[in-house]
Amino acid sequence: MSINKRVAHAYIDKFDADIDLRKKRDFIKDYIAASNAATGSKFDSNANVTRKNIVTLGNELYKENNIKQNRYIMCDKIKTLYGRALADQYLKDLNSHVLYKHDESGTPGFPYCVAITMYPFLVSGLKELGGVSIAPTDLKSFCGEFINLVYSISSQFMGAVATPEFLMYLDYFIRKDYGDDYLNRLDEVVELNVKKRTLVKVIDNYFQQVVHSMNMPAGNRGYQTVFWNISYFDKNYFQGVFGDFRFPDGSAPRWETLDWLQRHFMNWFNEERRNYLLTFPVETMALLTDGGDGYSDEAYADFTAEMWSKGHSFFCYISNSPDSLSSCCRLRNSLKDLEDKEDSSHNHTTHQYSMGTASVATGSKSVMTINLNRLIQDAVRRYFRERRGVSLPEGKALDPSSNFYDKEDLYNNYIAKALTEMTERVHKYQIAFNEIIKDFYKADMLDVYNAGFIDMKKQYLTVGVNGLTEAAEFLGLEISPNPTYGEFVNKVLETINISNRKDRTSEAMFNTEFVPAENLAAKNYKWDSKDGYFVSSKHNLYSSYFYNPEDDMVSIIDKFKLHGEDYVKYLDGGSALHMNLQEHLSKEQYRQLLKVAAHYGTNYFTFNVRNTICNDCGYISKDTLTKCPKCGSENVDYLTRVIGYLKRVSSFAEPRQVEAKHRFYAPDKM
């Protein structure tokens, strides 16, 4: 009996289509029943989606299709550049969960995150981004257009948008409207309407306009809010980064007014968070050290400690030179000469405006994360088979009393070799993705690049890592500041760093990031456990730090050591220490910890004290309480950093909620 091929293919197509329709129908049912939007997300849960609704459902529904499309396009490009074998290997790496491509669920070809220069905005407004607004001319137009600018740029990136120059530009427009001496006019009535607002109140209102607008869900981001970052600078840091900067009218920034504006904004934002749940901006204070345990601008170090003591939550980035800057959660950048291609001391780069003045423009075009726990366990098992003739049991850590090994042989010939081979493959995958972005750029479909807000050559291709502490636990190492653990950490990260430098080209710069892994940490734990790899029963997901967040034996000082220079020197980003505390410390205590950070070279950190929000009356307390101090209700939720940004714990995906319950919050005596 013959079969009509056309009829057969039509039947198969219809059968496949029906399966897809049934899967989507079932997904809709499961999503409706989910406890929140993050838990309902099958592919990349995100606590930045506060409310589950029809918009968030629509964004989730076709993510599986996008993943398939992304992989098809990637394989096609890899095959063109490197051949079919590597394209097949790419799928094998993804499907075996030794590699994870971040944000595959988005539209193909989207870059990841960016820290922009706002200079083109001062020159041409939003016209180069497809808008109609010309360059802002006063404070009012600047604030309105700035909101549109960030939303427009964020719609063309999967991750964060950082505007480190925001307050400097805001100060410029305040001075344009009210004069360089506006600090002498703060209490002067400048609005002659019914409200009779003073200048300081006008400034506060613009703060509120910008910040509240940025915390609104965006339809073009699946009802997420814009992930927006800003920076503050001490005097010497500011002069080092912006000393040669000039606005389009030829004028220079003024430190005296910017100093006041930075302090005022931070105080205003801290108080505003007593009334509203405001996640963004994520703030970073940039401080210069004096090369020792002190700070070159002691007044700003004092101010930083004071703001922490007032209950404000923000990041701090410290450096002994203003040529390095943390402009977003993922990147630490060097701002020295970009042409120094052969710098072997680190894997950073330089960023300058096309006009020739200092810039903070950078970003990451793509992030691919290596599952270190799986990769290293495979390498160790191979070592024991080949060198010892032993097959290690599944799901168990090495037994130090019976599983002896030659550390030098294991580290160099197995772990480092596997890491090098994997990293070199990831570089090729990333170069293929870079070519895809370039295709879109050549087709004039990446407006942000064409408009000059960022130079594609000044963005990184990021090699992420996850599962480091779990791999160390498998080897039987103690997760604490000790030489054996430090040697392991540095061997792993230096191996990747060496490959990053070796494979760097004029169009492809690689960096290494300890990824926040908001949802990947739980996925890797689940996948590895299912496939017979050792995972610790002490936690339910992989750590995003150099210690385990639930470990109550690692002291405050130990954590600063573990995120200090001895451990992070081969990393380029993502390694922020989240110091969880039971309660706020005094200004003097925070000031002492700033000295500790400078001493150990802990360059990126924040303090995290759970805030309490009443579900009945909405009152927000900066302290961790079990009962609302305003209405007495025990129906309370907590605000804490899921990983990097501040949200309700009830907005976390369920694995992250479990992890949040087990985090150790240190008392001040530690």
Q: C-alpha 533: how far from its chain's center?
A: 28
Tokens 């006063």 correspond to: 138
State the Cα–Cα distance between residues 485 and 469, nearest whole angstrom: 9
Query: Please, which pLDDT band fits residue 598 given cuts at 50, 70 and 90?
Result: very high
- Indicate the SS3 state at residue 578: strand
* CB atoms inside a 10 Å sphere around CB 420: 15
Amino acid (1-letter code) at residue 523? K
**Residue 138, Cβ neighbours under 10 Å: how many?**
11
CA distances from 107 to 65, 89, 523, 527, 638 (A): 10, 23, 22, 25, 34
Q: How much is the average pLDDT of 18-33?
A: 72
Distance CA 649, CA 628 (A): 16
Quick check: 98 and 372 in contact, CB under 8 A? no
Q: How many helices (H) and strands (E) does the chain have?
A: 23, 17
- Whether the CB-CB separation of 585 and 560 falls below 8 Å is answered with no
Gyration radius of the chain over CA positions? 25
User: What value does the mean pLDDT take over residues 66-89?
Assistant: 96
Q: Report how far Cα 620 is from the mean position of its chain's Cα atoms.
A: 26
pLDDT of amino acid 505: 94
What is the C-alpha separation between 600 and 583, in angstroms, rounded? Answer: 24
Structure confidence at residue 407 (pLDDT): 96
Report the distance separating Cα 240 and Cα 3, nearest Å. Answer: 76
Q: Are 44 and 519 in contact (CB under 8 A)?
A: yes
Please tell me the distance from the alpha carbon of residue 266 to that of residue 273, in angstroms, as a whole number.
11
The alpha carbon of 544 is separated from its chain's Cα centroid by a whole number of angstroms, namely: 11
Give the model confidence (pLDDT) of 2-19 as tens digits. 556 665 566 556 556 567
Q: What is the pLDDT of residue 653?
A: 86
Q: Is the pLDDT of residue 24 over 90?
A: no
Q: Given pLDDT bands bounded at 50, 70 and 90, which one contains residue 34?
A: confident
How far is it, in rounded angstroms, from Cα 235 to Cα 42?
46
User: Strand 282-288 relative to strand 315-319: parallel, antiparallel, unpaired?
Assistant: parallel
Reference 518, options 278, 314, 284, 224; nearest CA is 224
Query: How much is the pLDDT for 33?
Result: 76
Cα–Cα distance list, 132 to 43, 343, 451, 455, 538 (Å): 37, 43, 14, 23, 55
Looking at residue 354, its pLDDT comes to 25
Average pLDDT, the chain: 89
Q: Are 645 and 278 in contact (CB under 8 A)?
A: no
- Give the span between the Cα atoms of 402 and 397, in whole angstroms: 12
Q: Please answer whether residues 517 and 643 qualify as being in contact, where contact means their C-beta atoms are separated by less than 8 angstroms.
A: yes
pTM for the structure as a whole: 0.90
Listed range (59-63, 91-95, 272-276, 643-647) with the worst mean pLDDT: 59-63
The reported pLDDT for the residue numbered 97 is 98
Residues in the chain: 670
pLDDT tens for 394-420 read 999 998 888 999 999 999 999 999 999
Residue type at 243?
G
| 297-318 pLDDT per residue, tens | 999 999 999 999 999 999 999 9
Q: CA angle 331-90-108, nearest 5°? A: 60
Q: What is the pLDDT of residue 341?
A: 39
Give the contacts of 111 (CB within 8 A, at least 6 positions apart): 156, 157, 158, 363, 364, 365, 366, 437, 446, 459
pLDDT per residue as tens digits for the range 82-130: 999 999 999 999 999 999 999 998 888 899 999 999 999 999 999 999 9
Alpha helices in 179-330 (DSSP H): 199-214, 235-242, 255-272, 298-309
Cis peptide before 281 (omega within 30 of 0): yes
**Which are the contacts of 423, defined by CB distance < 8 A and separation ≥ 6?**
370, 463, 495, 496, 499, 500
Determine the average pLDDT of the residues in 597-623: 97
Burial of 250: CB neighbours in 10 Å, binned 0-12, 13-18, 19+: exposed
369-394 pLDDT, tens digit each = 999 999 999 999 999 999 999 999 99
pLDDT tens per residue, range 214-259: 999 876 566 678 999 999 999 999 999 899 999 999 999 999 999 9
Exposed, middle or buried, 566 (CB in 10 Å: 0-12/13-18/19+)?
A: middle
Question: Would you state the pLDDT for residue 458?
Answer: 87
